[in-house]
Structure 1
C-alpha cells in the first residue's frame, strides 16, 4: 500500500481539497483508495509527531504515535487498500508559527522526519502546493486578524517581506527529511478551485467527477476585516479603504515577494536540483481570471482563482 501525503501549504485550498476527498470517499474506496483528513489526523492519531519532543515523556509520546500510525496503516492495508491519501497541512507547521517568526515553515524538516518514521515502509509521494508569496502572506495575515490577532506593525511586515526563506528552502528541507519520497510540487495558481485535477496530477489516481463545487475557508476581504475590527475594538479604520483583498505590503515589498516566487518557479522548471518535480496541469496553459463555474456562495469558499501566476512587479 502506497501512502501519499498532501502537506498543503496552508492558504492554498486545503480545506476545499479535503472537503472534496471526504465527499468522494465512497467512489475512491471502490478504486481501493483510502483517505485520512484532519477529522482523523487531529483526533490523536498524529499527536506526538507534529511537535518537537523536548522531554523524555514527549519522546515516548512520539514513539507511541509512530506505533499508532503503523497499526492504523496495517488495518488499512488489511482492508485491501492500494493507496492511502493523507491530507493535513498542519503536518508541516502552522500559520501562527510562520507569522510569529515571519518565515515559511522553519520546523518542516524535523516535523516531517518524524512523520517519515511513522509512515515508514509505505510513504511514496509528498504533494506540496506553493503559492505566490505576496498572496500567501496576505491571506495568512488577513485570516489571523479575523481570528483575533492584532494588525501587524509596519516593521513586522517589512521583516516578513525581506525574509530570505522561500519555497525553495521549504522544498529542500522537505527533501532532506524524506529522501526516499517523490516530492511533487503543484502550484496553487494552476490548480485552484479544481481539487479533482490536483488529485489526478499529484497522485495519478483517476479522480471522481464532482458536480458540487465549493470554495472553503476563504480569507476575509477588506470590508469584512474592517467590520471585524470595528466589532472587536471599535477601530475598523486601521485598515485601508477598499473592497477587495487586503494587501498589507508596500508596492516595493510586494514586488520583492513576487520576484522571490518567480525565482522559485524558475528553479523548479530547471529541475529543482533533482529534489522535486514540478507538476503542472497540462490542460491549462494559464490560470483564468475568475473562478470556474459552480456554487461560489457556499460556506466561506477559499480564495481560489486569484489571477494568473504572479510575476515580478
Structure 2
C-alpha cells in the first residue's frame, strides 16, 4: 500500500514478511520516546550493539545516529528560508524514502528511539513542568510519518528522582544550583505524567501507547524491547551496561567549586544528590502515585501501563511503587525501590 502510492517504485518484496489474507503487511513503526533520565541512552546502546542480530529477526533500528543526522530535520521547524510547512514536507519525503528502503530489506518492525522527539530536559527545567510541548511536537511527527506510527513506548519515573537527575545534569553543564524557591516551582508546577500521556494520546489518535515505569525497566533494555515488539527471545548482548548516569554529589561539588558557585546549596552527604526537602519529596511522590493509579486503572483508554518483566524476579528488579492513591506507608522503602 505504501509503495503503490509512490510513483515509480515497486512493491517491496514480501519474502520473510508476515502474510495475512495473501497480502504483505506493512512494516510496524514503533517509537521509543524516552523520556529523558529513564535509561534511554542505555537502551539505545543495547539496540546498537544488537543491530545485526535484530535485523536477522526482522527488527530494524534507528537511533540518534540516524534521527539526528538529517532524517528528521524540519519536522520541528528551525529558523531559515523555508517555511515550517516546506520543512515538514521535505522531512516527509526523506522519511518515506528511508522507510521504503527498510521495507524493501524485509524488515517487519522498525524501532525508532530518540528522547528528543518529545522535547528537551533543559526546556522542562525552564518551564518548571514536564514536556509542555509534547502534543504539538508529536502531532508533527505523526504527520511526518504519514500516519504510519503503530506503537509508542514512553518511560515514566518518580518525579522526585526525575527532577533530581535532570538538575544534576544541568548543574554539571553550567546551570545554577537551584534554591528552595526554584525547587518549589517544580513541585507546584501542576503538570504530571498523566498530563504528558494525555497530550501524547491526543496528538497521535489511534496509536497504541505503552507506558514503562523506570523503576521496573531501568536496567532491562531487553525487556523494554520485548514490550515494544513482542519478540520472544531478545538478545542479551550489552543488556547490563548502564550509560549516562547522573553525576553524584562529589562530582557536582567539584564542578560547582571550579566555577565559583554556591556549593552549600547542594547540601551535605554523599552519593546521589537529593535536592528536595521532605515535604517537597512527599508531594512529588504523591503525584507519582496518582499518575500510576490512573495508568493502572486504564488511563481513560489512552495508554497501557505494563509492569511485566517476563522471567525476571522481583529480587533482581525491585517492584514498582504502589499504584493506589495516597502516600506510601514507608517513604524510605519507596525511595530505595
Fold-level match, TM-score > 0.5?
Answer: yes
Selected match of 1:190 from 216, 238, 243: 216
Q: 1:230 to 1:286 in 2, by over 3 A?
A: farther
2:156 aligned partner: 130
Q: Bigger CA drift: 242-251 or 169-178?
A: 242-251
In 1, are the aligned partners of 2:150 and 2:208 still within 8 Å (CA)?
Answer: yes
1:189 CA displacement: 0.6
Q: Bigger CA drift: 87-96 or 144-153?
A: 144-153
The number of equivalent residue pairs is 298
TM-score, length basis structure 1: 0.89
1:309 aligned partner: 321
CA offset digits 1:160-205 (Å, max 9, x no partner): 1111110000000010001121000111111111100111023212
CA offset digits 1:27-48 (Å, max 9, x no partner): 1000011000001101111111
1:85 aligned partner: 111
Q: 1:212 to 1:271 in 2, by over 3 A?
A: closer
Summarize the alignment of residues 104-123 of structure 1 with structure 2, pairs less than 5 Å apart.
Answer: 104-123=130-149
2:275 aligned partner: 248
CA offset digits 1:238-284 (Å, max 9, x no partner): 42111121111121111010000000100111110000011112547
Selected match of 1:213 from 240, 244, 247: 240
Return 5+ residue gaps in structure 1 as ranges.
293-304
| Greater relative contact order, per chain length (Cα 8 Å cut-off, separation 6+) | 1
Q: What is the RMSD of the two structures over their aligned residues, measured on CA atoms?
A: 2.2
Greater C-alpha Rg: 2
1:3 aligned partner: 29
1:22 CA displacement: 0.1
2:7 aligned partner: none
Residue 129 of structure 1 aligns to a residue whose secondary structure is strand
Return 5+ residue gaps in structure 2 as ranges.
1-26, 332-337
1:277 aligned partner: 304
TM-score, length basis structure 2: 0.83
Q: 1:121 to 1:176 in 2, by over 3 A?
A: closer
Residue 125 of structure 1 aligns to a residue whose secondary structure is strand
- Distance in 2, matches of 1:159 and 1:135, equals 16
Residue 128 of structure 1 aligns to a residue whose secondary structure is strand
Matched, 1:25 2:37: no
Residue 156 of structure 2 aligns to a residue whose secondary structure is coil
